[in-house]
Structure 1
């Protein structure tokens, strides 16, 4: 997987304070497609923040194979795992996104890339 410097002069510093709402998307991507996917994802996540009301920022993480998740146990070392965090202004903003935009985005991603295994969850910072 390609990687850029962890922090460049133009990289925002993300801080999460109590009550911060995070919409998390987890992706399982075939290793042979990950470089192309990450090029697309970098633009996509920035566009989401710029166009979706209440989406304040995004961060993209790579992760080792998640252990203990049965639905990933048969993938071996053929996948790269990516997690995206979107900081969202409120539950109302997130609910509106999930109702009006997310279904079309998920369908478009599946049609374009044909390989995504995706899970989503919402996190709220406690402290």
Structure 2
């Protein structure tokens, strides 16, 4: 008997911190192994980080900063559910630069963008 997939739903006001990544295809598997552990570690270690999920995404067409990458990249998106705006503000002020530089030091090839989403309905 197969189990049903877990359905994730968020209530209005849920805060999502999104990180979009561009990774060379030849580094995909190494990066995914690292990213799985890294996102779990962030949730465990950073106050207010509640959960995380990682997604594949198709190449984001129409974004100028990706127009010259051709088809040699894999695009990933990490979502972190954050408990409150205060927790996100503290992370951005105290941890984000350190986290980003550690990732950049290890994986020099990343193109990263970040944004915050808030569930409306």
TM-score (norm 2): 0.94
State the match for 2:21 in structure 1. Answer: 27
1:70 aligns with 2:57: no
Post-superposition Cα deviations, 1:88-122, rounded to whole Å, max 9, x if no partner, equal 00010000001111101111111111011000000
What is the CA–CA distance in structure 1 between the aligned matches of 2:15 and 2:6, rounded to whole Å?
A: 18
Which sections of structure 1, spanning at least 5 residues, go unmatched? 1-7
Measure how far apart 1:15 and its partner are: 1.5
What's 2:37 paired with?
43
Once the two structures are superposed, residues 38-78 of structure 1 have per-residue CA deviations (whole angstroms, 9 ceiling, x without a partner) of 00000000011011100000010001100110110110101
The 5-angstrom pairing of residues 1-127 of structure 1 reads: 13-127=7-121
Partner of 1:3: none
Partner in structure 2 of residue 5 of structure 1 = none
| Residue 14 of structure 1: how far off its partner (Å) | 2.4
Runs of 4+ in structure 1 off by over 2 angstroms are: 11-14
Q: Does the residue aligned with 2:90 lie in a helix, a strand or coil?
A: helix
Unaligned runs of 5+ in 2: none
